[in-house]
Every structure is written in C-alpha cells, then in structure tokens.
Structure 1
Amino acid sequence: MEHFKINGQQFYNMVVNASNRLEEQMEYVNALNVFPVPDGDTGTNMSMTFTTAVNEISGMESKTISEISKTLAKGALMGARGNSGVILSQIFRGIAKGLEGHTEVTSDMVANALHEGAVFAYKAVMRPTEGTILTIIRAAGDSALSIAIEEEDIVELLRKVCIASEDMLNKTPEMLPQLKKAKVVDAGGMGLLILFKGMLEALETGLVCKPSKVKQEPVVKAETANVGSVQEIENGYCTEFFVNGENIDVDKFKNEISKLGDSMVVVGLEDIVKVHIHSNDPGRVLSIAAKLGELTKIKIDNMREQHRNLNNIVEEASPSIIEEEEMKKYGFISVARGKGIEAILSDLGVDCVIEGGQTMNPSTQDILDSINKINAEHIFILPNNKNIIMAANQAVELTEKNVHVIPTKTIPQGITALTMVDLEAEVEANIETMNDAMANVATASVTFAVKDTEAEGKAINEGDILGLVEDNITEVGSDIFKVCSSVIESMVDEYSELLTIYFGEDVDEEEVSKFVEELEEKYPDLDVQCYDGKQPLYYFIMSVE
C-alpha cells in the first residue's frame, strides 16, 4: 500500500514499534560491542533512551506529527543514557526540527527531517568518528534527500533508506580497525538501523502499537538535608512542571513569577521550558504559565507536610534541634557502583552518589535530579566513566545552576580529583587542579570475558580473566591474582609512588590481604593502599600515581 503522506497517528505507531523492536533485539546489539568486558551496553542505553522517549508520547495518537515528534525528542533528551543514547536523542531532536509545524508530511519532508537528524547528531560530538552511529544517520539523511527527488511513496523512501543505511553499516568494519578485528559492525549503527526498520514495518503493515515501560532505573543516593521548623518554610508548595510552547520569552516569564515564590529555576530549551519554584500560590503560577503553552509533568508537593513527617523521624532519632541548611560554596555529584566505593566518595564530601557506571549508565534526567538536590554556589559532576560524560554535559545545558563537569573516566580519577579540592579556593583554581590531578592517574582493572573474541592480538575465550590498562587488554589468564600482579608490574616504574587497589564483591578478603603483603614486599618503595570497593563485575580496580 502506498503512503504519500503520514500523519501523527501513523508516526506514533512507527516510533512505538521501533522502540519495541529495539527492546527485543537489545542484547543482540549489546553483543556487537567490540570489547569482551562486561560493559557492552550500547543496546541497553539506546533502548532505554528510546523507551523513555516513547513513554512520553503515550496516548498522543490523535496529536499532529509535529507535536508528537517534539514530545518524543524531549523524552529522549531527558532519558538519554550513555554516549549512544545522547547521540540518539540529538538525532530525534533534529528529526523533530524537520517535522516542526506540520500536521502531516510528504516524502520530501521526511527526507529533510532525517537530514536534520544527521546535522544535530554531528553537532553534538566534538570529534566525530566515522564508522559509528554518526556515519549511519548521515548515510540515511543523504540517501533520503536523493531518493525523495523522485520517490513520493514514503514506504519506498524508508525501504531504500534502510537499504542505504545497512549498506553503510556493513562498511563500518573497514572504517574502524577494532570492528574489523572483532568481525562485527558498529553496535550504535545497528541500533539505529533496527529503529528505522521498525518504523518502516509499522507504516507498511499498518500496525497499531502500544509502548512498553522502562524497566531499569538507576538509584540516586543523597545525603538527607537538614531541616528547620515548619514556620521557617516561607513558601510551602514545591511546584514543578514543563511548558510546551513556541517562542516563549523565558526572561519575561521568570520576572512574572519571581514575585510569587523563591528557589526558582526556569530553564528554556527551544520550545520547552522547565519550571521549579517554591510558592504559596501554585495555582497562580500555573495560570500564568498556561498562557504560554501546554503544561505537562505537573508536580506539586506540600513541603510543610513533608517537613512534619521528616521531623517525626528525626525527633525519634535525636532530640536535638536541626537548623536549616545554608547554601555552601561547593557541591559534588559522582557516579559509582559498589557500596565501598560509594562510602569512600561520601567520606570525600560527595553530596549525591548516582548508582551507575559499567552496564548501568544514568540518564540525563537522573543527573539533573541530583543537581537539583544540591544547595551550592558551584556543583561539580564527576562521571567516572567515559560513557557518562556526554549525558552529564547535556544535563548542564538544562540547568541554570553553576555546574562544572570534570571529565573523569575512572573511579580512581574521580577519587584523586576529589582529594585535591580546596574548599576555600576559587572555582577556576579547583577546576584546573582537579583536571591536572585526574590526568596523572593511570587506571587498570581486572574483569572477565563475556564472549569469545580476539583483542590486541590475543585470543580470548568466554570466562577468561582479563587485565586492562586504561581501555587496552594487556593480560589474559585464568587466575585473578596472577593477572592483577602482571598488570601492576606493567604499570609501575621508577617514578611511581602510590598504588591503590579496590577489590570487588566477588573477591575473598583474606586472599586480598595476602596479595597486598606480597605486593608490599615486591615494591618496598611504593605506598600500597587497599580498599573494599564491593564493586560488581570488576575483581580489581587499580591506580598508580
């Protein structure tokens, strides 16, 4: 059946089916990750990002294609997880831009939207790498513009776009040597192709689809803020919502509602504004906002009632009077997994530890929620994982607070950076100090192989013990302590002063103690420190400074 136009209802079914198909094939996409270590989560990140986006449009079948695509893009933006999820969110922001203002669209409009998706994706990455999801969306956009010149049937357009995208995907091993060695295509590109094929399937067959729900959410852990008396809460209702509109004058809106409360945060992002304010008249705030556009995600909490409930708990624990928390100069957010590592970060002054890292990247919304919990002039985010840095930067763009991302890629880098903070120093000095300290930390880890493969010229079988220095597999063996010892030996040189080891939840503590004694004898000039990190998946995380 030919389709010369598609409307909002058809687009809704297309993206819902795409999300469902990606969720079904999520583990297949994960398996395409080059490294055999247990953090191959491209499929998981893309699926959770898009499932969150699709949940945002649930029940919008009757809306225009412009309205649905805008809401979908917003959901992807807030739900983005990992680098692949952030790039995917930018692709659909571009697609929404191309569909903006239309009730239904023709093939040339669809082609333009795909092209916009590529433009937005490339802008999101500082140093684009070809042979990745970026290459696939560019191939899709370029082919769509060429095909749409003669093809008016959108089904045929999408079919040919999928063919062109798949042809380019099959060429990715020639663009990236690591893909060729592992004999796989790019995982992110495959995820995007699955989405496109899901969209084509729904349009071609007339599927009516229902979205699934996000099943996994990282847990944000934070210190409990000190509270005062009910009488000290001047504005009692914490009011949060989004405004979806066009050409909103954010500054004018802020001035209008500023007199109605305090603790106000109003952030504008193109055609969507996020609002947070403490007010005694939330109805009036909402009334003013409703003049600007459609209100969504409205949440009003009675803080006086919450305070009374919290005080009941606090009073049972201690009869002492707790005073209201004042704004401090610095606040800290860090991402980590492992009870021991989380405790270390808290001891170093981290306000919010987001549970996440390998295999479980927090979303942009998770990071933004942590930012909103902290009452500080300047907030530092330490992602401690290269796959979380983009989501952290995206969260920074969505807040008015002074937030700085220190691009730590490992737990040891994050811990070392925190130890160098001077709470009395100016923010620029601390940023420079933390970045310098991070750069001087060499990180290694010991984990296990999740599949058979070959890496760095080494044959690897599923279950093998792997030693990694930074991102390179340097050791393959069967004994975690022997592999760990070999990795450390490769890292230590005449300039090394400190060796730090964090052992995981699957390692025997007594055996670790014996191992540390052996290391101290072997390296008498080294200060050897060992901590029970209780981290999953990684037997050891080490650093040499």
Structure 2
Amino acid sequence: MSEQQQKGRIRGHAAIHRWFVLAEQALRAHGESLNRLNVFPVADSDTGANMLATMTAARQAIEQSSEDDLGALLATAGTEAMAEARGNSGTLLAVLLTGFAEPLHGHERLTIDVLDQALEHGSVRAWSALSDPVAGTMLSVLDAVRSCAHQQVVAAEEPESRAALIESLESMLAVARNAVVATETELEALTRAGVVDSGGTGLLIVFDALRAAMTGTEPDSDLLKGLHGLDGERAAQPCGSSGQHEDYVEIMCTVRLDPLGAASLRHQLDEVGESVIITPVDAEADDRGMYRWRIHVHAATEEEASRAIHAAGEVTTYTAAPLCSTEAEH
C-alpha cells in the first residue's frame, strides 16, 4: 500500500469506525428510552435493542475489514449488519448502511456531494424495502436529512471542502431533530400516545454520531432534550395487551431468490402478515442469478408464512419468536 493510500485509509477507515463506535455507545445509553417510545408499528419495546444490535454488528465488521474506500467499508458493514438485523428499525438501519455504500465506492474522504448521493440512494433502498412504508417514521427523518443535504450541495461555494461538510452536517442534524419532533403529529398512533417515533429518534442519534465523527467533536448531550415520551412511563399499552398482536410471530430469515421470486414472496407475505421488509443482501447475483434476501414479517400464524418462505427458495437462516413476549422487555 502506497503512502497516499495509507493516508486515505486512515481518513476513511478511522472516520467510519469512530462513527459506528459513537453511534453504538449512544444507542446503548439511550436504549431504554427508545424502547419506551416504541409505539409503532407494534408496541413491543425493542427499538433500542434492535438498532443497537445492528450498529454493533456493523462496528465489528469494520474492525475486521481491510477495505480502503468508504463504499467498500459500508458495504461490508451493511452486509454483516443485515445478517444480524432484528425488527423493523434494526433491519431498516442495516438497509440504510447498505444503501449508503454504492455511491461512496472509490471515495476515501466524505464530502457533502457524495454524502448527498449516499442519502439519496439510502432513501430509495429504505422506501422500496417496505411493502407498506409509512410517513411519520424513520423514513420521514431520513428524507428530511436527504432534502437538506441536497440543498446544501446546491448552496455550497466549495462542496469538496471540509468546511462545507461540517456546516452541512450541523444543518442536517437540526433538520433531523425537527423531523423527529414532527413525527408526533404525522402518525396517528404517535399522536394518541403523545410521543415521537422511536426509530426516527434512533436515526437522529446515528446522524449525530456521524456529525461528531466527521467534525472531530463529541455527540450532543442535549440532542434528545424535550422530545415527547422520553421521560416517565410508557405512553402506550404493551404489545399483546387487549389482544393486540397477541398471537403474532416475528420472522427474520435469509432466502436465496431471483428478483421475480422476491416480488412473488413479498406478495404472499403481505397476504398473511404485516410489517413486511424484503431487501437484497448482496450487491451482485450469483451465477444462477440469485441474491440473498433479508426478510422480516409479523405473521398472524407462523405456519402460513413459513410455508411460503420455504417454498420460495433456499432458506439459509430462519428465526421465529412471539412478537408479544410475556418475558421482560428486551
């Protein structure tokens, strides 16, 4: 490796690693608060735990990686995070990391221009992964940040400069926080509970860690101050109370399919379950035209969903657990 390549690796690898370390630490510190906010789509009190598991897997992947450029690093992190992803929020966070990767290939330094491209690609991946995407969630927070990044690129006199990146990250964080506040009025379930969205709040934490990593500062200790629902008792009845999703199971699995097979399976799972997420793990197909697809579904009965999944293709991983556990919260 040349001296120039080594310098690029220090910039890229160290920055991404610091981002993931800071995000992991913050998600762990605020995990219980995120769990209390967990109202939508199911009040199963695990958003904080699920997002933390994704970020931990991503951080561990980076520490084992010898890649040099930002795109390769995030692709590695996203693939490993996808394999460990749990729940809606954890899976979507893994989807975002994977989506960010493609526009960053060949770059060893983050600029506002390439960040704008990464956010655009990540947004497309996230919205398309869900069968029934809903505003007032982490998707709304992501899109607010994406729109802000694009405006910053257009307005920047020197979009390749570090100063432009720092200024833009500060603006994007402010926009992200406002978007989290807005979720309470955008989604009826959150309005009734008087809380902001848990996944959106978790994504705000991740974006703050990115800002801190790229600017060489620390995460904002007042970031979540004043957000509704973070203090006190849970604002909504736990999952399973009053029969809510009491018999549902949450299935997470990985299946080898071609794109047509994935579309067909999505249709079948939409018929027997809710919160369906289907997204490719691999960037390229194998020699048979197959990809690994990560699948998440809340199924009314495991039997029907499992039958559809196993009939669709080669299942490489499969877990199913009661959506509404009677055990202690995650």
TM range (shorter): 0.5 to 0.7
If asked which structure has higher relative contact order (CA below 8 Å, sep 6+), I would say 2
Q: Which residue of 1 aligns with 2:146?
A: 141
Q: Which residue of 2 aligns with 1:390?
A: 277
Structure 1: runs of 5+ lacking an equivalent: 1-5, 208-356, 372-378, 422-426, 429-444, 448-534, 539-545
**Is 1:181 aligned to 2:192, yes or no?**
yes
Partner SS, residue 104 of structure 1 = coil
Partner SS, residue 63 of structure 2 = coil
**Is 1:79 aligned to 2:84, yes or no?**
yes
Cα distance in 1 for partners of 2:41, 2:129 equals 28
The one-letter amino acid paired with 2:31 is: M
**Contact persistence 1:82–1:390 (CA under 8 A):** no
Partner SS, residue 63 of structure 1 = coil
Partner SS, residue 83 of structure 1 = helix
Cα distance in 1 for partners of 2:181, 2:64 equals 37
**Is 1:111 aligned to 2:104, yes or no?**
no
* Structure with max Cα Rg: 1
Partner SS, residue 92 of structure 1 = helix
Partner SS, residue 127 of structure 1 = coil
Shift of 1:79: 2.0
**Contact persistence 2:103–2:117 (CA under 8 A):** yes
Shift of 1:401: 10
Equivalent residue runs for 1:57-456 within 5 Å: 57-60=62-65, 63-151=68-156, 152=161, 153=163, 154-205=165-216, 364=253, 367=254, 386=274, 389-390=276-277, 409-411=299-301, 414-415=302-303, 417=304
**Contact persistence 2:251–2:298 (CA under 8 A):** no
Identity level (%): 26
Partner SS, residue 130 of structure 1 = coil
**Contact persistence 1:385–1:410 (CA under 8 A):** yes
Match of 2:16 among 3, 11, 15: 11
Shift of 1:141: 0.8
Going from structure 1 to structure 2, the CA distance change for 1:77 and 1:406 (only over 3 Å counts) comes to: closer
Cα distance in 2 for partners of 1:13, 1:536 equals 37
**Contact persistence 2:103–2:118 (CA under 8 A):** yes
Shift of 1:120: 1.4
The one-letter amino acid paired with 2:191 is: K
Structure 2: runs of 5+ lacking an equivalent: 1-10, 219-247, 258-264, 313-321
Query: Aligned residues, how many?
Result: 255
Cα distance in 2 for partners of 1:74, 1:149 equals 32
Shift of 1:169: 1.2
**Contact persistence 2:281–2:291 (CA under 8 A):** no
The one-letter amino acid paired with 1:86 is: T
Cα distance in 1 for partners of 2:292, 2:154 equals 47
Shift of 1:111: 2.0
Cα distance in 2 for partners of 1:402, 1:105 equals 29
Shift of 1:124: 1.2
Cα distance in 2 for partners of 1:32, 1:120 equals 25
**Contact persistence 1:368–1:395 (CA under 8 A):** no
Cα distance in 2 for partners of 1:190, 1:86 equals 15
Partner SS, residue 102 of structure 1 = coil
The one-letter amino acid paired with 2:83 is: M
Cα distance in 1 for partners of 2:189, 2:30 equals 23
**Contact persistence 2:149–2:168 (CA under 8 A):** yes
Partner SS, residue 390 of structure 1 = strand
Going from structure 1 to structure 2, the CA distance change for 1:38 and 1:167 (only over 3 Å counts) comes to: closer
More strand by share: 1
Shift of 1:39: 1.6
Shift of 1:537: 4.1
Going from structure 1 to structure 2, the CA distance change for 1:192 and 1:36 (only over 3 Å counts) comes to: closer
Equivalent residue runs for 1:25-40 within 5 Å: 25-34=30-39, 39-40=44-45
Cα distance in 2 for partners of 1:406, 1:66 equals 25
The one-character-per-residue Cα deviations of 1:183-218 (angstroms, maximum 9, x if unpaired) are: 1111111110100111212232367xxxxxxxxxxx
